[in-house]
Structure 1
Amino acid sequence: MARWFSGLLIWIILVVPAFAETQKGTARIGVLAYRGSERLEQKWFGLKNYLDGTVAGWKFDIVPVTLSSAKTKIEAGDLDFIVTNPGHFSELNQNYFMSIIASRQQQKSDGTYSSAFGSAIVTRKGSGILLLQDVRGKSVAAVDRNAFGGFQLAWREFQEVGVDLFADDIRLNFVGFPMDQVISMVLDGRADVGIVRSGLVEDLAAEHLINPDDLEFLNATANYTHPDMTSTRLYPEWPFAAFNTTDPDLRDRVAVALLTARSNLFAQESGMVDLWTAPVPNRSVEELVLAYRNRINIMNTPKPESYQLTILVLLGLSVFGGGIAILLRKKFPLRTASLALAIMETETDLAIAQSSKDSAVQMTRREQEIFDLIAQGLSSKEIARKLSISPKAVEFHRANLLKKFGARTSSQMVAMAT
């Protein structure tokens, strides 16, 4: 019996720790798949290998995301980190509180590394389009109007020379990911001009998918020192960001692994392509995002003439109501005065309610659902069961709501909203 017990004890000492070592948590890194999911997994597999072998106790999954699907995955609690362009990060960070733990140094077409990128504005060779101003009246292909390197950087350069991509008889065609198809459309004659992030043309040429001599770059003098051809000024490369719900220890260990990769031989052995530095300033990105958002808001604001009919109707009702009020005052002076006072009080209440609504905390649909259930006193697990989401997703949204309200506790948040 004693021998059997001793054997069991030895087995526990030797085997159980080894078994525990294999029980790893899974961390999910969302990466913007602007060239499609398959190419993304090929390009970022080296980073996964490196982190798998460097951050003990964890394994990592690369999750392809798009400009639109990122929000859905974040709200579902499906991501622990995200790597995307700085403009997309800026937009997401307004609703989902994140922190940049590292900034990318991308390996460029000549093998060197750079912390900046831009956009390339291309046309077919011999198209007769030589200047940005020549794009008036032409067709322009891009992936999405919310794309940063794939549209907004170029938008700014066109603005600088007085060309409005949303006007000036320009036919915009947003084709979505993968971005490669923008170049195909230009080469096939389906678009006069294409907008892509810098480096894509060089990548396609290196993969023998296109002949770069068939293309011409507009505004090619925008930058003389960048390894890739650019038509715009340069902006910081992609950030690697963690969410406020990401395990702090995991976040810090990933940050250390990224920042020490350049001196780690295992990073090269893992096939890791890009390097990472401490977070770089994002001010130029914020300025562009704000300017672009203002332009979109102007475009979406109804023109003054659309209000004319409403104003005429209101004036007519006002005159008609005034006449009725005079008649009523002559016949029922006291009652009319009370009615007028009631109307004034109602209008005041409506104005106050509207003002309160305008200044209210803006919530996403999912946040509103979770807030309502929090107000009912439900726990995170109860909310998760009711909405068929994970408790982690509930806590993610609860943390965002607390920050939006500036509250320390859920009860304080509910009190502030009621």
Structure 2
Amino acid sequence: MSSVFRISHGQCFALILTILFMLAAPLRAQETDPQPITELTLGILATEGATRVLEAWTPTQALLNRAASAQNLPYRFKIEPHTDTSLISGLGEGDIDLLLGDPATFVVAEVEEGVRALLSVAHMWDGTTYDRTGAVVFVRNDSNILRFDDIAGKRIMGVTANELTGWQLALQEFRKYRLNPDDIAADVLFSGGNQREVVYGVQNGLIDVGVIRAGILEYLAQQGAISLDDFRPIQPIVHDGYPFWASTPLYPDWVMAAMPDVPEDALALLIDTLLKVSPSSVEFQAANGVLWQAPQNYQAVHELLISLRARPYENYLRQAATRIYLAYKWPVVGLSTLILLSLLLLAYAVLRNARLAEARKNVLQSEVRSKQFYRNAIEDHTVFCMLTKDGVISHMNEHFVTALERSRNSLMNRPLLEIMKETNQQLLEDQIMAAMHAGVPWQGALQLVKENGKAAWVQSTFIPVTGTSRKLSEIAMVASDVTKTREGVSETRFNNTLELIQDQVVVMRPGCLEISYANAAADDSLFKGRVGGSWKGRKADDFLTEKDLEVLKMRCEAVEAGPQRRITWEAEGKGDVTYEISLEYAQPEQDEPRLIAIYRDVSERKIIERAKNEFIATVSHELRTPLTSIKGALGLAMSGAVG
């Protein structure tokens, strides 16, 4: 009995160990399981067809996914082309997390779904960035339609009824000329979201008038798909500095927005990655020159849709019509009924206005939070500084200090004019400050001066900041450091090339003659062998005599003035060394000028030439005496004097 009992006890112990092992196995598996991936869907408004959306934005999708993987974030981005209707529907059903669309689509999503703006789109055209858009109403060049007044009764095609640049902006212009939308509704067609269909319809004479986004015609002409000479805009509006045909006022460009439940770290990843897209990137090229910037103010689009009574403000017209209808429906109703009805309408208006005020308050609070969020994003990822209204630096971020390679104390309370290249100083006074006082942003490339005198290139946007009195109080400068992309030739590659030259090469800055580089041969002979130490931080007068320095300065001024850019001369050095010095003035494209001096030791050549001359003189002298005697003897013999 005892042995049986001992066996049963061992079996129980083994069973307990097995159960514990089975319970621990899922825990170990859970610890080793990777973090689940969250898929974020980016819905994109397709204005040129779904295929074009995939071609244009797949590189950006890949860029975001690479950035998420590099930062070990559990997100994967997916893009989907949509119409304006399916885009809003997808947001409402939770199928879309992010949207990229025109301002009207964003306003609908903001009011109905609570999305918030992340970034605004800017397009680069011929090297200049534009962040405004409009609509162009156009016809064939041979059309007899000259003004909006001539449109009534003609066949018109827009992109979609709810698209800002594809119809709504044009509709607003039609109303200015008292063209009733109901009168032309029977003659209006829509392409279903494809801008190119509208262009081809006008080109082939299928429709009389087209309405598309400003810039589409120029883009198609640049691709060679059409010729601009075949078309003509109706009543074009000239916008200063805007390169495209436009028949309407300009509004902020497209916007990237997110649903409220998208994680903050995913938004930070998206903003950080897209702000780094540069004009040289694959994503920029695929998206037809799209760059990203901080979100613009889209209040003007809200006001436009309210005036058009378009979604999401279509109830404005219905409620106004209802009040008018009720006011005239019962003209013979008794005074008491009229007063009661008026009180009911008044109460309804008060409650409705209270709700609208609360909604506007929430929108404003959301804008304040978004502005703070993007102010932090700008501080972290761009070259940023604040100026007083007189152009004095009052605040800067660390990127600004790093780009100029100066100390913060040397930049604070210093006029921006003092750290700009002389060629840009007049631009600041004539254009930038004039634009700021006019309340208009200014964009362009500037050259700032680093501590060492080199140029720092920045692609900048100056934004006027006004107070309650709408007078200029401050100026915000948001920029990207594009110095490396502006350099025509890599400095490292240039220096490596100089090291391959056996002669002594010294590179100097014009004017101050500061040494910017010396190859190893020059460093050993001219600096370590003559004055000791390295060439860094030295000038030409550190290793030249006063006489040689004056000669060098005179020749430097000559090659700088031109037209001759290279001068060669000889000079005697220590130890009977003769140098042939070649001085050249070089001006690389988009880089600062430089003076290149090449010292070539020609002592051996001089010795050979001296030996050659001495040999010729000796041979000439030694041969001259016997030749003279022989010549005299021959003369006597030929004259018969010797018999």
Q: Distance in 1 between matches of 2:46 and 2:55?
A: 11
Number of the residue aligned with 1:197: 213
Which residue identity does 2:213 align to in structure 1?
R
Tell me which of 25, 30, 43 is aligned to 2:43.
30
Number of the residue aligned with 2:233: 217
Number of the residue aligned with 2:6: none
Q: Distance in 1 between matches of 2:157 and 2:286?
A: 37
Verify: 1:147 aligned to 2:166, yes or no: no
Which residue identity does 1:143 align to in structure 2?
V
Question: 1:351, CA displacement in angstroms?
Answer: 9.1
Q: Distance in 2 between matches of 1:168 and 1:200?
A: 28
Which residue identity does 1:51 align to in structure 2?
L
Extract unaligned runs of 5+ from structure 1.
1-11, 319-346, 363-399, 407-418
Question: 1:170, CA displacement in angstroms?
Answer: 6.6
Q: Distance in 1 between matches of 2:38 and 2:263?
A: 11
The 3 A distance-change label for structure 1 pair 133 and 352 is: closer
The 3 A distance-change label for structure 1 pair 281 and 303 is: closer
Verify: 1:117 aligned to 2:137, yes or no: no
Verify: 1:234 aligned to 2:275, yes or no: no
Tell me which of 202, 215, 222 is aligned to 1:186.
202
Verify: 1:126 aligned to 2:139, yes or no: no
The 3 A distance-change label for structure 1 pair 211 and 178 is: same
Question: 1:83, CA displacement in angstroms?
Answer: 0.8
Identity %: 24
Verify: 1:94 aligned to 2:111, yes or no: yes
Q: Distance in 2 between matches of 1:287 and 1:352?
A: 24
Q: Distance in 1 between matches of 2:236 and 2:285?
A: 37
Q: Distance in 2 between matches of 1:300 and 1:173?
A: 26
Using structure 1 for the length normalisation, give the TM-score: 0.64
Alignment check: 8 A CA contact 1:139 1:173 kept: yes
Q: What does the per-residue CA deviation read over 1:325-352, in whole Å, with 9 as the maximum and x for residues that have no partner?
A: xxxxxxxxxxxxxxxxxxxxxx9xx999
Which residue identity does 2:251 align to in structure 1?
Y
Tell me which of 77, 82, 88 is aligned to 1:60.
77
SS in 1 for 2:305: helix
Number of the residue aligned with 1:323: none
Tell me which of 38, 50, 54 is aligned to 2:63.
50
The 3 A distance-change label for structure 1 pair 351 and 239 is: closer
Question: 1:69, CA displacement in angstroms?
Answer: 0.8
Q: Distance in 1 between matches of 2:199 and 2:320?
A: 33
Alignment check: 8 A CA contact 1:138 1:170 kept: no
Which residue identity does 2:77 align to in structure 1?
F
Verify: 1:253 aligned to 2:266, yes or no: no
Tell me which of 83, 106, 109 is aligned to 2:123.
106
Number of the residue aligned with 2:193: 177
Number of the residue aligned with 2:292: 276
Number of the residue aligned with 1:159: 175
Q: Distance in 1 between matches of 2:185 and 2:326?
A: 27
The 3 A distance-change label for structure 1 pair 165 and 121 is: farther
The 3 A distance-change label for structure 1 pair 206 and 143 is: same
Using structure 2 for the length normalisation, give the TM-score: 0.43
Number of the residue aligned with 1:333: none
The 3 A distance-change label for structure 1 pair 352 and 103 is: closer
Number of the residue aligned with 1:334: none
Q: Distance in 1 between matches of 2:55 and 2:279?
A: 23
Q: What does the per-residue CA deviation read over 1:55-106, in whole Å, with 9 as the maximum and x for residues that have no partner?
A: 2343211111211111221122111111111121112211111221111112
Alignment check: 8 A CA contact 1:235 1:285 kept: yes
Please say which structure displays the higher CA radius of gyration: 2
SS in 2 for 1:95: helix
Q: Distance in 2 between matches of 1:137 and 1:126?
A: 18
The 3 A distance-change label for structure 1 pair 195 and 255 is: same
Alignment check: 8 A CA contact 1:122 1:216 kept: yes
Q: Distance in 1 between matches of 2:129 and 2:94?
A: 33
- The structure carrying a bigger helix percent of its residues is 1
Alignment check: 8 A CA contact 2:284 2:290 kept: no
TM-align CA RMSD: 4.2
Question: 1:222, CA displacement in angstroms?
Answer: 3.0
Number of the residue aligned with 1:82: 99
Alignment check: 8 A CA contact 1:140 1:170 kept: no
Q: Distance in 2 between matches of 1:103 and 1:132?
A: 31
- The structure carrying a bigger strand percent of its residues is 2
Alignment check: 8 A CA contact 2:59 2:282 kept: no
Question: 1:209, CA displacement in angstroms?
Answer: 3.6
The 3 A distance-change label for structure 1 pair 90 and 45 is: same
1:330-409 correspondence runs (5 A) = none
Q: Distance in 2 between matches of 1:183 and 1:149?
A: 14
